[in-house]
Amino acid sequence: VQLQASGGGLVQAGGSLRLSCAASGRTFRSYAMGWFRQAAGKEREFVATISWGGGHTHYADSVKGRFTISRDNAKNTAYLQMNSLKPEDTAVYYCAASSGSYIYIHEYDHWGQGTLVTVSS
């Protein structure tokens, strides 16, 4: 599966953005999907994951209650709705796919290019 993330940009603190991850191929629905991010000078970190059917999600504590991951298997697309953004959310955001369980964040092995999110204070 090939992935392409989009939707990043510059937003003020407290604002919202929605990221999209478009996938190629007819097997999208068989993959768990995830969003990860990497801030400048830091390691990449897990943000949120969703099961292949969309019925199960998992969030990092830092984004719980503010971000929502979803997917539309008919459109081969995953989303990350980000609300109440903070300057510390500034990072390059990556979408990824896993043929394993959505919960195992180290098993995501298909990666898209990143999209930059910048949150100004």
Which long-range CB contacts under 8 A does 27-31 form with residues at least 24 apart? 27/1, 28/1, 28/73, 28/76, 28/97, 29/53, 29/73, 30/99, 31/1, 31/97, 31/98, 31/99, 31/110
**Mean pLDDT in runs of 10 for the chain (121 residues)?**
96 98 90 97 97 96 98 97 98 96 90 96 94
Residue 89 dihedral angles phi and psi, to the nearest 5°: -85, -5
Torsion of CA 107, 111, 115, 119, to 10 degrees: 10
Measured CA distances, 77 to 12, 40, 42 (Å) = 26, 27, 27
SS3 content of the chain, % helix, strand, coil (to 5): 5, 50, 45
Count of residues making up the chain: 121
pLDDT at 103: 87
pLDDT at 48: 98
pLDDT at 33: 97
